[in-house]
Amino acid sequence: MDKLITGIKNLDYILGGGIPAYSLNIVSGSPGSGKTILVQNIIFNNARAGRKSLYLTTISESQFKMVRHLQGFEFFSDDLLGEKVIYGDLGAVLREQGADKALGYLTEMIKKHLPNIVVIDSFKAIRDIFPDEKTFKAFVFDLAAALSIWEITVFLVGEYEEKELTLLSEFAIADGIFHLYGQEEKRFQKRFIRILKMRGTSFQQGEHLFQISPVGIEVFPRMRPEGEELQYGFKPGRKGFGIPSLDEMLYGGLTEGTITLVSGATGTGKTILALKFLLEGAEKGENGIFLSFEEPEAQLQNTARRLGWEIDKYLAQGRLSIEFISPIELDVDKHAFEILDLIREKKVERFVIDSISSFENSVSDPQKYRDYLWALGQQLKRRHISSIFTALNDDPFSPLIVSREQISLLADNIIILRYVEDGSSIKKVLGILKTRGSDHDKALREYEITPNGINILDKLNKADMLR
């Protein structure tokens, strides 16, 4: 099947390679949802590939006003106007001469320009010209018949509510339906696209985040853990922390390609332990990314320098990258996808998120938080990336609680850090709760953070210290 490549970031991926050629598609959504920009982005991308588009406006927005608004986007080019992107006014013909003349005008324009793509924007506005549903329905079917004669791909753009998509007659003739909408999620006003129908081809269902930037439309596909994403093997090697006593407790280190949850109260050293894991990898020539939602890069560098770690050398070599995202700006739908892009780009073998508690705080729906984290975890495993997720335990003296949302279920390995009371002193204790597919030291051991790093001490010598 021939397909029309949209050229929009990740949209062709969602569409399984593009939109079936010569199909009739409806792009629906409320005013301001991005319908016109989406279609304009597609036709200008295709114009650069040599394909011609005929864009017919109706009564909602003049073509001159539309072009003026497009001039701020990178995809727009004056050089393509009139040659590869041709605008016409179908609305005036409809209003002044009627539906029959409008179909004739459309046919003449197609014969004259021989476009590969035809757009009618707004198709919904045409409805108001007709006296009743019956005559409009007849026009819709006549239009579909007229367009089917030509080998062109059609986009009908309209301000439709989602509840109308199954009721109105124009949707009966559509081969494909794109629905764009926005919703407020916590502090973000987000835009989503859903493909409701794409006749004759497979596509990724569900809502996909998109943004409108100076580049144009950028789509961030829904994290998809099902299907082939779960098909991955295990590597037999191990990756250590470079802390001899801890690596001994893990019988040589963490199994490659697994996810480790490091859970602990504030100040127990989760960040330092995770950073040491990446620095040990850098020492062995492995690339790592530290994704921080809590401490900016300069603060992490200072911490590492105080501990005598050669963080500057590895940052300069590109063995270690620190990416700081403020929790205030964190948009899980977007950043989860960007994280995977970054991992691919830098050929990462070790990866840290510090902390997933900030992930949780940025997502209003707990189920969505769990789904995203689980999907991200599965994709990291599929790429055999050894990963550490740190999690904040709100109660510094709690029993061996790992996390509030049972995220421990996605972890292959769990390391807990907690405080214990010893007389009038507070000590730190480390324990390994599980290492999937491997044995490990079952003891709880005291540890201390010294100017030289993390020092694992003896076993906990008093059972009643855990309260």
Q: Could you report the per-residue pLDDT of 110-136, keeping only the tens digit for each?
A: 999 999 999 998 888 888 778 788 888
pLDDT class of 357 with cuts at 50, 70, 90: confident
Is a pLDDT exceeding 80 seen at residue 426? yes
Calculate the alpha carbon distances from 362 to 118, 296, 328, 332, 410 in Å: 41, 18, 8, 7, 20
| First and final C-alpha spacing in the chain | 66
DSSP state of 409: G
Query: Kind of pairing, strands 413-422 and 386-392?
Result: unpaired
Residues 221, 24: Cα–Cα separation, whole Å = 23
At residue 199, the 3 state secondary structure works out as coil
- The CA-CA-CA angle for residues 424, 427, 430, to 5°, reads 155
Among candidates 175, 56, 58, which has minimal Cα distance to 124? 58
Residue 95 makes CB contacts below 8 A (sequence gap 6+) with: 59, 129
Instruction: Give DSSP secondary structure letters for 57-110.
Output: E-SSS-HHHHHHHHTTSTT--GGGBTTTEEEEEHHHHHHHH-HHHHHHHHHHHH
Residues 288, 5: Cα–Cα separation, whole Å = 35
Among candidates 448, 458, 408, which has minimal Cα distance to 269? 448
Is a pLDDT exceeding 70 seen at residue 248? yes
Among candidates 262, 263, 254, 252, which has minimal Cα distance to 234? 254
Place of tokens 């739908």: 333
pLDDT class of 285 with cuts at 50, 70, 90: very high
Question: In this prediction, what percent of the chain has a pLDDT beyond 70?
Answer: 89
Q: What tokens does 245 get?
A: 């006593």
Residues 429, 419: Cα–Cα separation, whole Å = 6
Is a pLDDT exceeding 80 seen at residue 172? yes
Residues 7, 119: Cα–Cα separation, whole Å = 17
- Give pTM, 2 decimals: 0.71
- The CA-CA-CA angle for residues 293, 296, 301, to 5°, reads 125
User: Beta-carbon neighbour count of residue 312 at 10 Å?
Assistant: 12
Reported in sequence order, the residue ranges of 347-412 that DSSP labels E, i.e. its strands, are: 350-354, 386-392
Residue type, 441: D
Is a pLDDT exceeding 80 seen at residue 235? no
Q: What tokens does 102 get?
A: 């409008």
Structural domains of the chain, with CATH = 3-220 (3.40.50.300), 238-459 (3.40.50.300)
Quick one: average pLDDT of 395-400?
Answer: 60
Q: Could you report the per-residue pLDDT of 72-85, keeping only the tens digit for each?
A: 899 999 999 989 99
Q: Could you report the per-residue pLDDT of 305-346, keeping only the tens digit for each?
A: 999 999 999 999 999 999 998 766 667 777 777 888 889 899
pLDDT class of 90 with cuts at 50, 70, 90: confident
